[in-house]
Amino acid sequence: MTIDRDRIERGGFILFLALITIGLVAVVSGFLVAMLWAALAAILFRALFHWLLDRTGGRRNLAAGLTMLIITFAVVVPTLLIGSMVVDQASGVYLKMRSGQIDFAQYFQQVRDALPTRLRQAMDNWGVGSIEGLQARISRTLSSSVSQIASQALSIGRNAFAFALAFGVGLYVAFFLIRDGDRLGPAFVRALPLDQGVAARLVDTFVAVVRATIKGSVIVGLVQGALGAITFWIVGVPAALLWGVLMAIAALLPAIGPAIIWGPVAIYLLATGAVWQGAVVVASGVLVIGLADNLLRPILVGRDTGLPDWIVLLTTLGGIDLLGLSGIVVGPVVAALFLAGWRILSEERGVVPGEGEAAA
């Protein structure tokens, strides 16, 4: 009888925890994205906080405040400034498309007319030469991409107060996560209803993938996007900053990369007689933008996270589709935790050797 009562009480307590957790998530649901980025900032700038902590005599509030100050002026302010310029350029391109000043279908027609006769015949045989349908698809795709950026910008403008509130909450939470992360992290691991060894491995996987994704993907993508924007500005391509941002986003996709942006631009420039501009774009794309990933990723990441490129591609695209910008990090993290969880389960069942056994 006592055993049954203990089970009922324990089951009731677990039910209470589940319901109150769901309730808490519902209450803070409007700030989940801000809290996510606050946690990512705490993970990424942990080393900076400890460096400042050593130089401030162990004063955690001062070290955390200085860390937030550096984050604000080194990351937040430049991001807002660049974002405002991108919004202006995206809105300008969108208005020009609406008025007919920019016609991507016409650009495609110019490229096709400049191609050799045999290549145009081959395109006709492949169905690519069916200009009307293909032009319409290209125009719709590109127009949709730019118009989505413009609509997001207008949405932020209409909800400026909500955006500012969420932004402030994110900075506020980030301060406490940075200051108290050494205490909150182990407490969180101990509270997980898992074996402590399993919980520690999952948390280590989470932290490693977050750092690798931000350092090895986001930072490299920003560098490649900046190089692409500079290249486009040199050759006189309109809205160079906007195309640079699109290249930074494309750089997050393995096996595709920024070439999906600068490649068509180079083809258009060469096909329309802008030979030196097209040559500069190709040279920069291959020798500068393309090599930035190979040079910077090993330095920033240090070691591979163990995720195959095709999984990173699928989860990054799926994450962006589901969560927007946050999906860039959330997608690969979910995939890494999925693989780590199943590997731990397989090891416990004796299906695959553990890491220690494999190393032996």
pLDDT, one tens digit per residue, over 283-307 is 988 888 888 877 777 666 555 556 7
What count of other Cβ atoms lies within 10 Å of the Cβ of residue 99? 8
Handedness of CA 47, 196, 32, 317 (dihedral sign): positive
Please tell me the predicted confidence (pLDDT) of residue 153: 54
Q: CA-CA distance, 160 to 153, in Å (whole number)? A: 10
**Model pTM score:** 0.67
Tokens linked to 125: 């045989």
To the nearest whole percent, how much of the chain has pLDDT over 70?
73
Please tell me the predicted confidence (pLDDT) of residue 68: 92
Confidence of residue 238 (pLDDT cuts 50, 70, 90): confident
pLDDT mean over 273-292: 86
For residue 34, the one-letter residue type is: A
Please tell me the predicted confidence (pLDDT) of residue 357: 46
Mean pLDDT of the chain: 76
Top mean-pLDDT range of 154-158, 168-172, 251-255 = 168-172
pLDDT over 90 at 37, yes or no: no
Q: CA-CA distance, 115 to 120, in Å (whole number)? A: 6
pLDDT mean over 16-40: 85
Confidence of residue 358 (pLDDT cuts 50, 70, 90): very low
SS3 225: helix
Tokens linked to 77: 């302010």
Question: 114-128, 156-170, 187-201, 255-269 — which is least confidently predicted?
Answer: 114-128
Please tell me the predicted confidence (pLDDT) of residue 64: 92
pLDDT mean over 269-285: 85
Question: 76-85, 127-136, 142-151 — which is least confidently predicted?
Answer: 127-136
Confidence of residue 114 (pLDDT cuts 50, 70, 90): low
Give residues with Cβ within 8 angstroms of 43, minimum separation 6: 181, 207, 210, 211
Please tell me the predicted confidence (pLDDT) of residue 360: 41
More confident residue, 89 or 227: 227
Nearest to 134 by CA among 153, 155, 152, 120: 120
Please tell me the predicted confidence (pLDDT) of residue 211: 76
Q: CA-CA distance, 109 to 103, in Å (whole number)? A: 10
More confident residue, 357 or 79: 79
Say if residues 297 and 281 touch (Cβ distance below 8 Å). no
